[in-house]
Structure 1
């Protein structure tokens, strides 16, 4: 007995992780997996990283630029000289006429080290830095907009699973009742208490119910695969989800649209365009740069030789072993001042101002539309709550009618047609109530989106 107990405990220990891994995922896990898997979010996150790179590039504008260069060259040239006879009386030197060609060759080695440092850009770089900060804020806000849309999509699918679960319960209850009533009808038909038409009515109702159950299974499988595509979670685990469909009461305390990511993004875009205007206006300001360099130059084995001898009979040949320049050092500060750039800077300022006006108008339009959308969603939420109340009452009434009809059918007070009608009425009322709850949850989520407060915590 002890061995069996130890073996059982060991088996549970070994299988524990596998059993835990097969637990049904909660809504939070589904949302987290979808956010992790979504390609659109990943691309926009990479866009933010590109903005970070642009910010780093601007920060590094003031870093020194260092250059180290070197060169070796062999020089060879032909020189043709033609000149009349000349003299320098003061020195008593007579220069003969020249009509000759020379050859020149030399070896050249040069090297240098240079450093440049930007000291002042006229305020352009600081303004562009601030513009990029605002751009990143806008990109992050739009990333939040996509996150909220993904939460909405996953919540819709999650609620659809709950809706289908409740639908299955209604269909199973109907199937159970029809089975009992079918047995009663079969006995009544055998005794000749009901007609064949009335007997077949229940058969038709049973066939219709079987068709609805088949439709339910198809929709559920499609929904499970859709959630698998969204999240990457195994279909076996998704199929284990067994959530309930209840009205959503937490719709957020903030009823203002100012929390919407779109408004935050457009506000940041306006700020970015304002800084771009500041940067564009700096075109006329001088730019200051410091630089220093150290160079080396060496010409060696230099030879200049005439091709033909002079009239004196001598052939001129000049040689130099080395001509070296070291060190060749300089340091200084320079500036560049664009006094007139062909109106290029002026046009950039005009263009930036027009872009700013466009974004400001776009923000105004978005605010108007979002305010109208919020009013619409609030009105629909009130209607959805009233609809739930009505549908719940209709459901109770239909259930009472069905219960009474079942009793009367068993005692022969009503026909099978009346019983089938009562069953259909209850099914319709029960499904309409579930649909009303589902619709109310959708509108509640839309209100959270309309106020920019849709987070997993607000709907759990």
Structure 2
């Protein structure tokens, strides 16, 4: 048991109360403690963090275009013939013969010698049949029509997009936590109401036994009290099972051991007033994750359009080559070191550039329409959630009065029943109505809390949720 306590304690935030029970460890967690616990080992958040790292790597890859490239290459070539220069000697002897004839018109001796020499061909070998070379080639693009600048901006936008995705994932997990955390608080409070109802009906049944023995009520009245007591017990058992189910879901979300029992300390709450709906709408337009993601995607599309338009400009680059080893190639034929500057200019590519530009423009237009539609849809969602909050506030105000009436009715009918002035049915009806309205008030508060978290997540500010939590006195869970 001690090992279980230590293992579970290490997973909770500092300052969390831990109580030992026969079945395991009980942790008293506020909503803030549960939030920090969830963020420590949440798989979805870890995946989103990896997305940011991937975006940074992509940005660095795009920034690599600013640096020169250096490549090493080696080749071995076997030629079918030697590389050589062949020159017939007659090219040289024929002018000499003409010169001799001009001086000695009847000369045959010298002309014969020149004819014999001119019949041969002079060959100069340049390279053998087997050639080998190893060298380095460097290239540095100094002008690319703005492609590198646009690519760097795209890389930065990709990181911002990944961060927005991470924030959206965090908001989703916060919403799930609110549903599970306050769902557990609701289940516990409902179980407490069912326990109070069962205890009250059990005392009513015991009083019915005494009145039956005294002859003040008949057997049917006592049986009616017993049946409703049993029904209250079944409702209590169902509520306890619901607590177990919701607690298991919350443990999974918080990555706690199965032997740990969670006691939520932050109450179900409801605020008496809220900011006007227009404030939430304005916040949504600036902070919502979907809107921001579409805005970033639009920026990326704009930079991509500029990149496509720069295809009309040439690329200018410095280059150099250094031969480290060469066999069969003389340096006087191919120098070992070369440097220069060159450019490439795509003059016609089958209208591919024009099609890419048109496609980029269509993407930008689509993203602009998507952003406007997203704002409209989100405004409808905010209106719906805000209405749910107002409805929950109205329900709680109405139920508070109903609860006061039901409590007074239960008191009067119990007293009347003890004096033989009221039937068992009247007492049970009063107890049932009191339990029903108490559960209804709890459900209204739960709906308010979950709707508020969804509203703040829709606005992109789920971290403000804790500012709305009302820490009430131990005697009440509702802020009247």
1:16-415 aligned at under 5 Å gives the runs 23-71=27-75, 90=96, 91-93=114-116, 108-248=131-271, 254-255=279-280, 256=282, 257-258=284-285, 259-295=287-323, 296-299=325-328, 328-415=336-423
Once the two structures are TM-superposed, the CA of residue 336 in structure 1 deviates from its matched residue by 0.7
Once the two structures are TM-superposed, the CA of residue 105 in structure 1 deviates from its matched residue by 7.1
Indicate how the Cα distance of structure 1 residues 431 and 250 shifts in structure 2: closer, same or farther if over 3 A, else same. same
Once the two structures are TM-superposed, the CA of residue 208 in structure 1 deviates from its matched residue by 0.7
Indicate how the Cα distance of structure 1 residues 135 and 66 shifts in structure 2: closer, same or farther if over 3 A, else same. closer
Q: Indicate whether 1:446 and 2:450 are aligned.
A: no
CA contact (8 A) 2:71 2:136 kept: yes
Q: Which range moved further: 238-247 or 69-78? A: 69-78
Indicate how the Cα distance of structure 1 residues 356 and 43 shifts in structure 2: closer, same or farther if over 3 A, else same. same
Gaps in structure 1 of 5+ consecutive residues: 1-13, 80-85, 99-103, 301-321
For the residue of structure 1 that corresponds to 2:350, the secondary structure is coil
Q: CA–CA distance in 1 between the matches of 2:332 and 2:345?
A: 37
Once the two structures are TM-superposed, the CA of residue 34 in structure 1 deviates from its matched residue by 3.0
Aligned residues: 416
CA contact (8 A) 2:62 2:155 kept: no
Q: CA–CA distance in 1 between the matches of 2:221 and 2:17?
A: 52
CA contact (8 A) 1:297 1:325 kept: no
1:416-427 aligned at under 5 Å gives the runs 416-427=424-435
Once the two structures are TM-superposed, the CA of residue 212 in structure 1 deviates from its matched residue by 0.8
Once the two structures are TM-superposed, the CA of residue 323 in structure 1 deviates from its matched residue by 8.9
Q: CA–CA distance in 2 between the matches of 1:333 and 1:105?
A: 31
Q: CA–CA distance in 1 between the matches of 2:272 and 2:394?
A: 14
Q: CA–CA distance in 2 between the matches of 1:124 and 1:377?
A: 45
CA contact (8 A) 1:123 1:279 kept: yes
Once the two structures are TM-superposed, the CA of residue 453 in structure 1 deviates from its matched residue by 1.8
Q: CA–CA distance in 1 between the matches of 2:328 and 2:307?
A: 48
CA contact (8 A) 1:297 1:324 kept: no
For the residue of structure 2 that corresponds to 1:436, the secondary structure is helix
Q: CA–CA distance in 2 between the matches of 1:121 and 1:407?
A: 93
Indicate how the Cα distance of structure 1 residues 323 and 444 shifts in structure 2: closer, same or farther if over 3 A, else same. closer
CA contact (8 A) 2:60 2:155 kept: no
Q: CA–CA distance in 1 between the matches of 2:63 and 2:397?
A: 62
Q: CA–CA distance in 1 between the matches of 2:433 and 2:162?
A: 52
Once the two structures are TM-superposed, the CA of residue 147 in structure 1 deviates from its matched residue by 1.3
Q: CA–CA distance in 2 between the matches of 1:226 and 1:164?
A: 13
Q: Deviations over 1:164-203 (max 9, x none)?
A: 2222222222222222222111111122221111111111
Once the two structures are TM-superposed, the CA of residue 157 in structure 1 deviates from its matched residue by 1.2
Q: Deviations over 1:405-429 (max 9, x none)?
A: 1111111111111111111111111
CA contact (8 A) 1:73 1:107 kept: yes
Indicate how the Cα distance of structure 1 residues 325 and 340 shifts in structure 2: closer, same or farther if over 3 A, else same. closer
Q: Which range moved further: 235-244 or 88-97? A: 88-97
For the residue of structure 1 that corresponds to 2:336, the secondary structure is strand
TM-score, length of structure 1 as denominator length = 0.81
